[in-house]
Amino acid sequence: MVGPTESTVLILGDSGTGKELVARALHESSSRANGPFIPVNCGAIPRDLLESELFGHRKGAFTGAISDRKGRFELAHKGTLFLDEIGDMPVDLQVKLLRVLQERQVESVGSLSSTLIDVRVLAATHKNISSLIAKSLFREDLYYRLNVLPIEIKALSERTDDVPVLFDHFAKQHAIGGREAISLNPVSMQLFSEYSWPGNVRELANLVDRYSSLYPGQEVDLQRVIPSMVPPGMRALPAWPQEGTERILLSSLAADATPSQKNLTPEPDSADIVSAISGVSEADSLAQVNDAQLDQDVKQTILLAQGGGAFPEEGFHLKQHLLDIESNLIRLALKNASGNVSKTARMLNLQRTTLIEKINKHGLAGNS
């Protein structure tokens, strides 16, 4: 509805919500789509240069003006001018902008004549304009001139249904070397949808760019991404799966099993244990552990996780048992790989950097 009109639009929303994307969409759906779209960040251009950037200058108008230069308004003729962060524009320039909007002509710095322009103006800000007006930092008459059609963009956390669509959009945009765009596995997409996105759409775009560079054309599993490459807030979500053995064991503990099924569960051998934890085949499990037996405590923990065996009355330290299991599996895999870390990482289906972190954590460096 708004795009095809010629009305001025004021786009409001937090930083990173995609105000420029909205402005471009409005331009592309208007009769000016074949004309230029000229964005100007009013907060990024030094105050003493902003007037020249917007309205242009004539040769000799000031030191350094060695030739005539058209301003952004003239460059946007027959198209759309997008004034981003309009709330950062100095008050004295707001007066000149108001006049341009009213008269539809610009006067370059150092010029004695005006130039007619045919430009649709879109403006945006993340600031509270009413508060700026109360502090005499924004002209009320300019606000009413700009605020013909207001569009308020909600934070991304308030429109999580947009997350998959935006992910696909940016994935296609950042596809590298003719490869397919990256995708997310279902658990990772759930994490993206539940994340609060403090950086809004900009943060989402940056993450897609990051993973497109690291895993071009692949399906990304966030749990296998280096932790520093995943936002801390995402790793703190309840949906974030426990890593490695801990995730699978906790899933087993939560499985719905009847008492009769529990009593019938046999004690697992070493191949069953590795299969239950790492999700690999029995043959691969046998190759990984080289027919070695895990410690009795480890086997007992796995048996309990599968619903068998008697739970000790005195209880036990779950986290420590899970760490022991992880340590034992890495130690045995290292032994089977003759200390080759890269081969061990492939056997355990881990990234090499993740495995090195775990080797250091468990003090297994001597085995590698």
On whether residue 1 sits in a domain, the answer given is no
On whether residue 169 sits in a domain, the answer given is yes
Whole-number Å distance between alpha carbons of 312 and 8: 72
> 105-162: per-residue pLDDT in tens?
888 777 777 889 999 999 999 999 999 999 999 999 999 999 999 999 999 999 999 9
On whether residue 296 sits in a domain, the answer given is yes
Residues 59 and 75 in one domain: yes
How many structural domains is the chain composed of?
A: 3
Among 217, 235, 253, where does a domain finish? 235
On whether residue 2 sits in a domain, the answer given is no
3-state secondary structure the chain: CCCCCCCCEEEECCCCCCHHHHHHHHHHCCCCCCCCEEEEECCCCCHHHHHHHHHCECCCCCCCCCCCECCHHHHCCCEEEEEECHHHCCHHHHHHHHHHHHHCEECCECCCCCEECCEEEEEEECCCHHHHHHCCCCCHHHHHHHCCEEEECCCHHHCCCHHHHHHHHHHHHCCCCCCCCCEECHHHHHHHHHCCCCCHHHHHHHHHHHHHHHCCCCEECHHHCCHHHCCHHHHCCCCCCCCHHHHHHHHHHHCCCCHHHHHHCCCCCHHHHHHHHHCCCHHHHHHHHCCCCCCHHHHHHHHHHCCCCCCCCCCCCHHHHHHHHHHHHHHHHHHHCCCCHHHHHHHCCCCHHHHHHHHHHCCCHHHC
On whether residue 268 sits in a domain, the answer given is yes
Residues 16 and 134 in one domain: yes
Among 235, 259, 274, where does a domain finish? 235
Residues 207 and 261 in one domain: no
Residues 21 and 132 in one domain: yes
Residues 103 and 64 in one domain: yes
- Model-wide pTM > 0.75: no
Residues 22 and 141 in one domain: yes
- What is the pLDDT, as a whole number, of residue 368? 53
Residues 210 and 108 in one domain: no
Ordered per-residue pLDDT tens for the chain, 368 residues: 999 999 999 999 998 898 998 999 999 999 999 999 999 999 888 887 888 888 887 776 666 667 778 889 989 999 999 999 999 999 989 999 999 999 898 887 777 778 899 999 999 999 999 999 999 999 999 999 999 999 999 999 999 999 999 999 999 999 988 889 999 999 999 999 999 999 999 999 999 999 999 999 999 999 889 888 999 999 889 888 755 444 444 444 444 333 433 333 344 444 444 444 444 444 444 334 333 434 555 555 665 665 555 566 556 667 777 787 888 888 888 888 888 888 888 888 888 888 888 888 888 876 55
Residues 214 and 263 in one domain: no
- What is the pLDDT, as a whole number, of residue 313? 59
Q: Which long-range contacts (CB under 8 A, 24 or more apart) does 138-143 make?
A: 138/87, 138/91, 138/94, 139/91, 139/94, 139/95, 139/98, 141/98, 142/94, 142/97, 142/98, 142/101
On whether residue 57 sits in a domain, the answer given is yes
Residues 58 and 194 in one domain: no
CATH number of the domain enclosing 24? 3.40.50.300
On whether residue 240 sits in a domain, the answer given is no
> 194-231: per-residue pLDDT in tens?
999 999 999 999 999 999 999 999 999 998 898 889 99
Residues 253 and 363 in one domain: yes
Among 153, 171, 188, where does a domain finish? 153
Residues 222 and 262 in one domain: no
Residues 270 and 340 in one domain: yes
On whether residue 333 sits in a domain, the answer given is yes
The parent domain of residue 310 ranges over: 245-367
CATH number of the domain enclosing 192? 1.10.8.60
Structure tokens at 125: 């800000």
- What is the pLDDT, as a whole number, of residue 349? 85
